[in-house]
Amino acid sequence: MTRYEETLSSVEELLILALRHERTLFQRKRIYSVYQEKGDEAVFECAAENKVIPMVAHGLMESVPVEHLALRWSKSHKEAEQKLQGFFIELDRLALLAEQQGIRFAAIENGGIARGVQHCRGCFASSDLELLVEKEDMSQFELLLFEEGFTRGSRERCASENSSQWDRDIIGWDNYCKTLADGNIFWLNIQWRPVLRRWVPMEQGLTTRDLIDRSILINGSESRVRILAPEDNLLVCALHVASHSYVRGIGLRLQLDVDHLVRNVNIDWPQFLNLVRCHRAEELVFLSLAIPASLLDTPIPEGVLIALIPSERRRGFLFKLISDAGVLNRHKHKFTFLQLVRLEIALSRGMIDGLRRVFLPSADWIKEGYSLQNNRSLIYFYLHRIFSLAKRRHA
Mean pLDDT of the chain: 89
Q: What is the mean pLDDT of residues 312-321?
A: 95
Whole-angstrom CA distances from 222 to 198, 225, 261 are 37, 9, 21
- Length of the chain equals 395
Biggest CA–CA distance in the chain, Å, is 70
> What is the side-by-side strand order in the sheet with 216-217?
151-152, 173-179, 185-191, 128-133, 105-108, 226-227, 216-217
- The CA distance from 13 to 322, in Å, is 17
Least confident among 118-127, 148-157, 259-268:
148-157
Domain segments of the chain: what residues? 10-391
Using one digit for the tens of pLDDT, what is the confidence trace for 241-256?
998 889 987 889 999 9
Report yes or no: 231 and 279 within 8 Å, Cβ to Cβ: no
SS3 22: coil
- Residues with Cβ within 8 Å of residue 381, at least 6 apart in sequence: 366, 370, 372
pLDDT the model gives residue 345: 86
pLDDT the model gives residue 40: 98
Handedness of CA 283, 156, 257, 392 (dihedral sign): positive
Using one digit for the tens of pLDDT, what is the confidence trace for 95-122?
999 999 999 999 999 999 999 999 999 9
Least confident among 89-93, 104-108, 275-279, 337-341:
337-341
SS3 159: helix
Instruction: Say whether pLDDT at 381 is over 90.
Output: no
pLDDT the model gives residue 365: 73
SS3 114: helix
Q: How confident is the model at residue 202 (pLDDT cuts 50, 70, 90)?
A: low
The dihedral region occupied by 156, where left means phi > 0, alpha psi between -120 and 50, and beta the remainder, is left
> What is the full DSSP assignment across 295-316?
HS-----HHHHHHH---HHHHH
Handedness of CA 277, 282, 284, 287 (dihedral sign): positive
pLDDT the model gives residue 162: 45
Instruction: Say whether pLDDT at 393 is over 60.
Output: no
> What is the full DSSP assignment across 191-260?
ESSSS--SSS---SS--HHHHHHT-EEPTT-----EE--HHHHHHHHHHHHHHTTTTTTTHHHHHHHHHH
The dihedral region occupied by 284, where left means phi > 0, alpha psi between -120 and 50, and beta the remainder, is alpha
Nearest to 304 by CA among 345, 340, 268, 334: 268
Instruction: Say whether pLDDT at 373 is over 80.
Output: no
Using one digit for the tens of pLDDT, what is the confidence trace for 139-169?
999 999 999 999 998 765 444 344 444 445 5
pLDDT the model gives residue 171: 56
